[in-house]
């Protein structure tokens, strides 16, 4: 049956007081390669059907991966049985009601129809490039067609469709090892030649790696590194944990926690980025400013916590850090000496209350002196409080699209704290 | 039709349909894995049941090796036509893959065929335990934690999962495998004294049934967990980093060995196949048989027959039976975890059976086996170890963890720390980190407690692969000491 028919079945047969039916579908074609050959190559579509119900404030959830009638019947029976047997949930909130939702533009027919032969053509171009350099390349090309639909007992009806083409690859030869990646909503916006050129440029700058001492260095953090850093921070940006006193955001709303050059938004205004019609709370999506000129303006909150605190429930649906107009050459000149970081890796929280993280550099570290790159150095471990690092933000480059969920700039940051080094 | 118990005989027929179709499309080798995953999650946060759910994911994936290259297609429609179409698609994908291959392409180790079944031994099927009983126990634990005024957040979730796999290959293998595990996670967070600290229980689960939860007796543990979280807020810090002795209990050492021994000895990483995401390995093949990975007392055993082990599944997703072997023997790197595809690259014509996929729609990848540090041969208790230590820190539980993509440099934290001075625990510490690297760390190991103190540690969230898959395996250790390690506060 279709999801609409499944919804009708549930609406007709449900005994519970409330329900939310969520269905998502993912059609994914992926070509994975390593050591200059395709190693895995996969295609298929799968679904996720999730039904949550409530008798009063007793809730139950059932999930399955198809829309056959017996499955939908099982979903309903199972979710209701769980709810009947469950204890009351003191934080239960009734399902969201009807909203007029904005139109979105996240789907591209050409991307959805991108054929397997073209996927392999792209991979082959990357392999031939590596072979010319007597290097090895590994990575993955992916084409996604994603859909989701939501229905609630209180009248919410929403649907989304997305496409994405993404490609990432790592080229390695002896000590030189670097990675590039890009994801776009529309295949027409993807340029494999430009991505290969970017990789070659990074790769060529990594010959003759030298050891380096740990310590504080001014860094030019390229966009991928910036995205990695803030992906992890955003995981801890929650209004509830802040209000409960367990995160660095406690009592920080309205205060200049970050430096005044730093801004962070979820935006509906950039056509290159995903702009959903509704957010995780099933509210119409709109641009949300999380940090403006260094001041924390908002934190994500679910409907229960937002109601309890008397604030609007908002969620993060993409990450946009507005940039500036300073080039990398100008940053090197401004800083004099320091390090250029391509990416960060294995970032984990060290001290949740202080907001301190650790991680490694990855995919290439270059040293610059007197405003010029002088060579590549080994990777380093860093321990740093991210929001305090943003208080030492000296300059911003233009924001760059990394994926439809992420658009961030290069950052020049003073005294980034490196605590150890590795052997490569 | 009963969604949870669809007729196995119908599926047995589809196994044959798939193999016949794959052969007709020119497969050198093919297999089909029909996998039905049943899961239950109960998630409780501050007395609120955030998610009480039951789920089924049911489908099949067909792997076809043709022209020396792989094609993989998956589907959740169970009909003869759909299975044939999926096999055809896998073969067509393989044809495209063969455009970009090395020489003649993929070669698999030889393997015999098997007709077998495997079922995880368990006392209490977690899906047969009444929901009310589970929720009431979890609520009692939650209430006990929140009865402490300074505990501001109490979280408890338990995942139970059963995977039923039917596997067939063109070698003639037919397997019927049912594995079950439970995975609990309990955490209390205190906010007091201007600080916030958590104490938790993680990696306590294993392959088996609800008896694992019963035996853990979280109701009894809850007051201690709350008290320790509060104590951590009042604990001192260690100050500047310096070299000292480090005693790691099994619940901390589990993840350290996972990251610094387990991943570097996955042969696909060694070969560079994970270079774009999870990374590669410093433990390259020329080091086999001669690389001093650890001290002489360091022995790491891989054992996919380990009772209660999460990677104990009878057979892997290549249809290779579970085995037990040394990865590190007397401190020397002697072997890897391998698959039928990776083993030939180091001259082996047999696989160690480490190829596993998470869901039916995932391509199987070279996974860490159950992997553990063998207990010490000398009779020694953790208290003996403390008495024998002049200046050090003892670490319990899981904290921050991070390692470079070649698996050389790492930094780990923990969940509870005790300062040790002149053979005695002197005070609780917080915010302690230890930094080391391979091969320094495992060569600094100078004492391992005996088998009486050996404990398994269960990992159910091992992220690897593109697309990312979450794998599971069991580690294990007794309390172990490392000398002259950099230990200190953060920053």
pLDDT at A218: 98
- In degrees rounded to 5, what are phi and psi of residue B229? -60, -40
Do A157 and A239 lie in one domain? The reply is no
* B402 vs A contacts (CB less than 8 Å): 346-348, 358-360, 381
Do A252 and A110 lie in one domain? The reply is no
As a whole number, the mean pLDDT across chain B is 96
Q: Do A359 and B191 touch (CB under 8 A)?
A: no
User: Is B411's Cβ below 8 Å from some Cβ in A?
Assistant: yes
Rounded Cα distance between A285 and A287, Å, is: 7
Rounded Cα distance between B120 and B206, Å, is: 10
Token pair recorded at residue A184: 């776009």
Q: Do B70 and A41 touch (CB under 8 A)?
A: yes
Q: Do A421 and B409 touch (CB under 8 A)?
A: yes
Do B176 and B260 lie in one domain? The reply is no
Give Cα A407 distance to the centre of its chain: 10
Final residue of a domain: which of B201, B234, B267? B234
* B73 vs A contacts (CB less than 8 Å): 42-44
Rounded Cα distance between B201 and B188, Å, is: 9
Do B376 and B315 lie in one domain? The reply is yes
Q: Do A89 and B48 touch (CB under 8 A)?
A: yes
pLDDT at A293: 98
| CB-based contact B300:B462 (threshold 8 Å) | no
Do B217 and B249 lie in one domain? The reply is no
Element (H, E) at B22: helix B8-24
Which of B158, B226, B244, B149 is CA-nearest to residue B187?
B226
Q: Do B100 and A127 touch (CB under 8 A)?
A: yes
Q: Do A40 and B54 touch (CB under 8 A)?
A: no
Final residue of a domain: which of A200, A226, A258? A200
Which of A350, A378, A379 to mutate to probe the B interface, most B CBs <10 Å? A350
Rounded Cα distance between B308 and B456, Å, is: 9
Residues 6+ apart with CB under 8 A from A353: A246, A247, A248, B195, B196, B197
Rounded Cα distance between B434 and B444, Å, is: 13
- Domain coverage including residue B215: 3-234
Rounded Cα distance between B173 and B319, Å, is: 7
| CB-based contact A254:A387 (threshold 8 Å) | no
Q: Do A39 and B48 touch (CB under 8 A)?
A: no
| A231 to chain B, closest Cα gap in Å | 16
User: What single-letter DSSP state applies at residue B49?
Assistant: E
Do A179 and A231 lie in one domain? The reply is no
Q: Are strands A406-408 and A319-320 parallel, antiparallel or unpaired?
A: parallel
User: Is B191's Cβ below 8 Å from some Cβ in A?
Assistant: yes
Q: Do A37 and B411 touch (CB under 8 A)?
A: no
Q: Which residue of A has its CA nearest to B268?
A: A34
Residues 6+ apart with CB under 8 A from A374: A367, A368
CATH number of the domain encompassing residue A10: 3.30.2290.10
Q: Are strands B151-169 and B29-45 parallel, antiparallel or unpaired?
A: antiparallel
Do A242 and A133 lie in one domain? The reply is no
- CB–CB contacts below 8 A, A to B: 255
Final residue of a domain: which of B214, B234, B254? B234
Strand order across the A264-266 sheet: A295-296, A288-292, A264-266, A319-320, A406-408, A400-403
Do A125 and A84 lie in one domain? The reply is yes
Rounded Cα distance between A168 and A291, Å, is: 30
pLDDT at B1: 46
**Domain count of chain B?**
2
Do B250 and B230 lie in one domain? The reply is no
What predicted TM-score, i.e. pTM, was given to this entire model?
0.96
Q: What is the dihedral of CA A258, A260, A264, A270, to 10 degrees?
A: -170
Token pair recorded at residue A94: 């009734």
Do B248 and B207 lie in one domain? The reply is no
Which of A217, A221, A136 is CA-nearest to residue A400?
A221
| CB-based contact B41:B82 (threshold 8 Å) | no
Which of B326, B273, B308 is CA-nearest to residue B464?
B273
Do A97 and A187 lie in one domain? The reply is yes
Q: What is the pLDDT of residues B225-250, one digit of tens each?
A: 999 999 999 999 998 999 999 999 99
Partner A, chain B 388-407, Cβ-Cβ below 8 Å: 400-406
Neighbours of B159 (CB within 10 A): 19
**What pLDDT tens digit does each residue of chain A (424 aa) get?**
999 999 999 999 999 999 999 999 999 999 999 999 999 999 999 999 999 999 999 999 999 999 999 999 999 999 999 999 999 999 999 999 999 999 999 999 999 999 999 999 999 999 999 999 999 999 999 999 999 999 999 999 999 999 999 999 999 999 999 999 999 999 999 999 999 999 999 999 998 899 999 999 999 999 999 999 999 899 899 999 999 999 999 999 999 999 999 999 999 999 999 999 999 999 999 999 999 999 999 999 999 999 999 999 999 999 999 999 999 999 999 999 999 999 999 999 999 999 999 999 999 999 999 999 999 999 999 999 999 999 999 999 999 999 999 999 999 999 999 999 999 9
* A78 vs B contacts (CB less than 8 Å): 54
Rounded Cα distance between A88 and A93, Å, is: 12
User: Is B344's Cβ below 8 Å from some Cβ in A?
Assistant: no
CATH number of the domain encompassing residue B174: 3.30.2290.10
Q: Is the pLDDT assigned to residue B7 strictly greater than 60?
A: no
Do B95 and B175 lie in one domain? The reply is yes
Do B131 and B71 lie in one domain? The reply is yes
User: Is B48's Cβ below 8 Å from some Cβ in A?
Assistant: yes
Calculate mean pLDDT across residues B376-387: 98
| Cα distances (Å, whole numbers) of residue A26 to A45, A61, A70, A278, B55 | 5, 21, 22, 19, 18
Token pair recorded at residue B204: 């306590």
- The packing angle between helices A116-132 and A192-204, to 10°, is 30
Do B229 and B292 lie in one domain? The reply is no
**Domain count of chain A?**
2
Rounded Cα distance between A113 and A105, Å, is: 17
Interface ipTM? 0.95
Rounded Cα distance between A217 and B145, Å, is: 44
* B276 vs A contacts (CB less than 8 Å): 34, 138-140, 168-170, 179
Token pair recorded at residue B369: 């086996």
Q: Helix/strand/coil (H, E, C) string of chain A?
A: CCHHHHHHHHHHHCCCCEEEEEEEEEEEEEEEEECCEEEEEEEEEEEEEEEEEEECCEEEEEEECCCCHHHHHHHHHHHHHHHHHCCCCCCCCCCCECCCCCCCCCCCHHHHCCCHHHHHHHHHHHHHHHHHCCCEEEEEEEEEEEEEEEEECCECEEEEEEEEEEEEEEEEECCEEEEEEEEECCHHHCCHHHHHHHHHHHHHCCCCCECCCCEEEEEEECHHHHHHHHHHHHHHCCHHHHHCCCCCCCCCECCCCCCCCCCEEECCCCCCCCCCCECCCCCECCCEEEEECCEECCCCCCHHHHHHHCCCCCCCCCEECCCCCCCHHHHHHHHCCEEEEEEEEEEEEEECCCCEEEEEEEEEEEEEECCEEEEEECCEEEEEEHHHHHCCEEEECCCEEEECCEEECCEEEEEEEEEEECCC
* A236 vs B contacts (CB less than 8 Å): none
| CB-based contact A98:A155 (threshold 8 Å) | yes
Final residue of a domain: which of B190, B216, B234? B234
Q: What is the pLDDT of residues B282-297, one digit of tens each?
A: 999 999 999 999 999 9
Q: What is the pLDDT of residues B168-195, one digit of tens each?
A: 999 999 999 999 999 999 999 999 999 9
DSSP SS3 for B110: coil
| B29 to chain A, closest Cα gap in Å | 15
Final residue of a domain: which of A162, A184, A200? A200
| Cα distances (Å, whole numbers) of residue A52 to A23, A60, A62, B54 | 12, 6, 7, 10
Q: Do B93 and A116 touch (CB under 8 A)?
A: yes
Rg (CA), chain B: 24
* A28 vs B contacts (CB less than 8 Å): 467
Q: Which residue of A has its CA nearest to B85?
A: A44
Q: Which of A37, A44, A172 sits opposite B275 (nearest CB)?
A: A172
| CB-based contact A345:B410 (threshold 8 Å) | no
Q: Do A360 and B404 touch (CB under 8 A)?
A: yes
Token pair recorded at residue B372: 């553990």
Rounded Cα distance between A199 and A202, Å, is: 5
Rounded Cα distance between B463 and B57, Å, is: 19
pLDDT at B9: 80
Do A146 and A276 lie in one domain? The reply is no
- Domain coverage including residue A170: 3-200
pLDDT at B309: 98
Do B354 and B274 lie in one domain? The reply is yes
Q: Which residue of B has its CA nearest to A74?
A: B3
| CB-based contact B313:B355 (threshold 8 Å) | no
């Amino acid at each position: 049956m279709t999801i609409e028919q499944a919804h009708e079945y549930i609406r007709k047969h449900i005994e519970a007081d409330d329900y939310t039916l969520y269905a998502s579908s993912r059609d994914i074609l992926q070509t994975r390669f390593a050591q200059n050959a395709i190693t895995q190559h996969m295609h298929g579509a799968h679904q996720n059907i999730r039904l949550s119900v409530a008798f009063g404030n007793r809730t139950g959830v059932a999930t399955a991966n198809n829309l056959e009638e017996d499955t939908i019947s099982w979903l309903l029976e199972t979710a209701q049985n769980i709810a009947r047997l469950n204890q009351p949930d003191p934080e239960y909130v009734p399902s969201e009601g009807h909203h007029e939702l904005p139109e979105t533009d996240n789907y591209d027919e050409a991307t959805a129809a991108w054929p397997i032969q073209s996927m392999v053509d792209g991979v082959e171009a990357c392999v031939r490039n590596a072979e010319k350099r007597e290097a090895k390349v590994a990575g993955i090309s992916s084409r996604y067609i994603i859909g989701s639909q939501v229905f609630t007992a209180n009248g919410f009806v929403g649907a989304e469709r997305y496409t994405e083409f993404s490609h990432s690859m790592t080229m390695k030869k002896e000590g030189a090892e670097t990675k590039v990646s890009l994801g776009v909503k529309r295949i027409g916006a993807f340029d494999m030649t430009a991505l290969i050129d970017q990789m070659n440029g990074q790769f060529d700058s990594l010959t003759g790696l030298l050891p380096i001492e740990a310590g504080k260095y001014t860094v030019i953090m390229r966009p991928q590194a910036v995205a990695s850093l803030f992906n992890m921070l955003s995981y801890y940006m929650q209004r509830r944990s802040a209000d409960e006193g367990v995160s660095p955001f406690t009592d920080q709303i309205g205060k200049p926690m970050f430096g005044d050059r730093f801004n962070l938004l979820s935006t509906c205004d950039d056509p290159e980025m995903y702009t959903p019609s509704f957010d995780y709370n099933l509210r119409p999506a709109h641009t949300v400013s999380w940090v403006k000129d260094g001041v924390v303006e908002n934190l994500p909150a679910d409907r229960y916590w937002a109601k309890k605190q008397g604030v609007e429930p908002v969620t993060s649906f993409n990450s946009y850090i507005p940039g500036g107009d300073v080039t990398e050459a100008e940053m090197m000149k401004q800083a004099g000496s320091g390090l250029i970081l391509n990416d960060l890796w294995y970032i984990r929280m060290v001290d949740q209350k202080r907001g301190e993280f650790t991680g490694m550099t990855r995919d290439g570290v270059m040293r610059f002196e007197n405003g010029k790159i002088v060579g590549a150095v080994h990777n380093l471990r860093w321990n740093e409080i991210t929001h305090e690092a943003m208080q030492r933000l000296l300059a911003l480059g233009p924001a760059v699209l990394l994926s439809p969920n992420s658009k961030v700039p290069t950052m020049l940051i003073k005294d980034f704290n490196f605590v150890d080094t590795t052997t490569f | 039709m009963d969604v949870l118990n669809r007729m196995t005989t119908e599926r047995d027929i589809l196994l044959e349909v798939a193999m016949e179709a794959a052969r007709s499309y020119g497969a050198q080798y093919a297999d089909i894995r029909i996998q039905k995953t049943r899961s239950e999650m109960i998630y409780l946060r501050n007395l609120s049941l955030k998610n009480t759910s039951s789920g089924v994911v049911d489908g099949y994936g067909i792997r076809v090796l043709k022209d020396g290259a792989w094609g993989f297609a998956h589907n959740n429609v169970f009909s003869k036509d759909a299975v044939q179409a999926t096999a055809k698609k896998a073969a067509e994908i393989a044809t495209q893959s063969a455009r970009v291959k090395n020489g003649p392409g993929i070669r698999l180790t030889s393997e015999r065929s098997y007709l077998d079944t495997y079922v995880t031994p368990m006392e209490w099927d977690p899906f047969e335990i009444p929901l009310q009983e589970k929720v009431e126990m979890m609520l009692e634990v939650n209430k006990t934690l929140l009865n402490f005024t300074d505990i501001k957040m109490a979280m408890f979730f338990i995942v139970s999962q059963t995977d039923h796999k039917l596997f067939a290959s063109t070698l003639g293998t037919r397997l019927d495998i049912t594995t079950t595990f439970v995975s609990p996670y309990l955490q209390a967070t205190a906010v007091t004294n201007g600080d916030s600290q958590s104490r938790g229980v993680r990696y306590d689960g294993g392959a088996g049934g609800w008896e694992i939860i019963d035996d853990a007796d979280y109701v009894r543990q809850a007051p201690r967990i709350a008290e320790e979280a509060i104590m951590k807020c009042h604990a001192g810090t260690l100050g500047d980093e310096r070299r000292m002795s480090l005693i790691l209990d099994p619940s901390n050492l589990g993840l350290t060995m996972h990251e610094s021994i387990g991943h570097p000895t996955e042969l696909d990483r060694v070969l560079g196949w994970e270079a774009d995401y999870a990374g590669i390995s410093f433990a390259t093949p020329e080091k086999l048989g001669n690389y001093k990975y650890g001290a002489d007392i360091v022995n790491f055993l891989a054992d996919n027959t380990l009772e209660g082990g999460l990677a104990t599944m009878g057979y892997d997703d290549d249809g290779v039976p579970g085995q037990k072997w040394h990865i590190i023997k007397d401190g020397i790197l002697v072997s890897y975890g391998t698959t039928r595809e990776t083993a030939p690259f180091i001259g082996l014509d047999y696989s160690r059976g480490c190829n596993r996929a998470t869901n039916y729609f995932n391509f199987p990848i070279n996974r860490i086996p159950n992997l553990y540090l063998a207990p010490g041969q000398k009779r020694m208790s953790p208290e003996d170890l403390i008495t024998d230590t002049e200046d050090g820190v003892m670490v319990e539980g899981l904290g921050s963890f991070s390692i470079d993509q070649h698996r050389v440099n790492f930094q780990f934290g923990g969940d509870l720390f005790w300062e040790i001075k002149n053979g005695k625990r002197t005070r609780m510490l917080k915010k302690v980190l230890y930094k080391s690297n391979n091969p320094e760390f495992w060569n600094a190991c100078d004492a391992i407690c005996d088998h009486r103190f050996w404990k398994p540690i269960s990992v159910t969230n091992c992220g690897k692969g593109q697309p990312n898959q979450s794998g599971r395996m069991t580690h294990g250790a007794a309390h172990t000491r490392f000398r002259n390690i950099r230990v200190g506060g953060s920053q």
